[in-house]
Amino acid sequence: MPIDILQLCPLMPSLEAELAKCYTVHRWFEMKDQAGFLKAHADKIRGAVTGGHIGIQMELAAQLPKLEIISINGVGYDKIDLNEARKRGYRVANTPDVLTADVADLALGLIIALARQLVRADHHVRAGNWTKGELGLGHRVSGRRYGIFGLGRIGQAIAKRLEAFDGHISYSGRRKLDVPYTFYPDINDLAANCDVLVVAAAASAETKHVVNADVLKALGPNGSLINIARGSLVDEAALIAALQNATIAGAGLDVFADEPRAPEALFGMKNVVLTPHVASATHETRQAMADLVLANLDAQFTGKPLPAAVV
């Protein structure tokens, strides 16, 4: 008899199709009577599949007495209470590594697009403004000072790519690593010593609003912010004020605090590049993520070690 799992958000169609082949899937996000469903079926649910952007509410997990695993389609697990998972004894798995290259690529894309005004340049041509005048000068990408907050898998992949641009790389994080980059224990010092600050750390209570008004002031009027991590790491009110007041030069943002809503104050700004959390959004990576979601579930239900266990 197929195992019952709870699907908490829409997923790639091919992943949904594979889940339907292997399990009895209950689509939580489409249910009109969620309380009624739990009353009738909560004790049948052995697994949950979710996205890193929503995780699972602790109140919901607490009502699933047979829950064995939460398989995340993504690398982030900040929306899941890991202490509760350990206490209750259910596993949490994610999809690390397979999306590292794509996220790092997008970070470079945002850096280049912002410095070389690619979005504005595209609009300049499409709007027929080229015949009326020049766009204006951008900034060089090669040879600049790049600071990376969070030198994990993704941060190191970004640094490797920046090396090819002759970037002068520094970083900040929990500890100094055996890497050929300058280490700053404090993010304020990191910001003060770079032209582009790249946010690549995991979201947690410790990193919430780690990029605040003081960090942006340290980054300075010639500095730019790139965020491909999570929106919660940046104080968006402080960022908007810094952009409006020319405290910093610009920002390239793929993530926001209240997705899918981005602050409307950013929309009219010419010194920002905005993308809708698409860092891992390639056919290749999304398929690899889907494969790992399925592998994590299969391992749990067949008594094998999880390929990508968080807890």
Q: Which residues contact 189 (CB under 8 A, 6 or more apart)?
A: 172, 218
Residues whose CB falls within 8 Å of the CB of residue 296, separated by 6 or more in sequence, listed in order: 69, 71, 93, 306, 307, 308, 309
CA dist 48 and 204 (Å) reads 22
11 residue type, one letter = L
The burial class, CB within 10 Å (0-12 / 13-18 / 19+), for 143 is: exposed
Give the β-pairing of 3-7 and 45-51: parallel
Query: Dihedral sign, CA of 227, 232, 233, 237?
Result: positive
Give the other-Cβ count within 10 Å of 125's Cβ: 11
**Pairwise CA distance, residues 90 & 300, whole Å:** 10
Look up 277 and say whether it is catalytic. Answer: yes
Instruction: Give the dihedral of Cα atoms 155, 160, 164, 169; nearest 10 deg.
Output: 60
- Per the residue annotation, which of 123, 174, 259, 284 is the catalytic one? 259
Catalytic residue (one of 46, 91, 277, 286):
277
At how many degrees (to 10) do helices 283-301 and 13-22 cross? 20
Token pair, residue 306, equals: 């999880």
d(CA 166, CA 294): 40
230 noted as active-site residue: yes
What value, to the nearest 5°, has the Cα angle with vertex 149 and ends 142 and 58?
140
Per the annotation, the verdict on 144 as an active-site residue is: no
Catalytic residue among 144, 230, 236, 286: 230
So which residues are the catalytic ones? 230, 259, 277
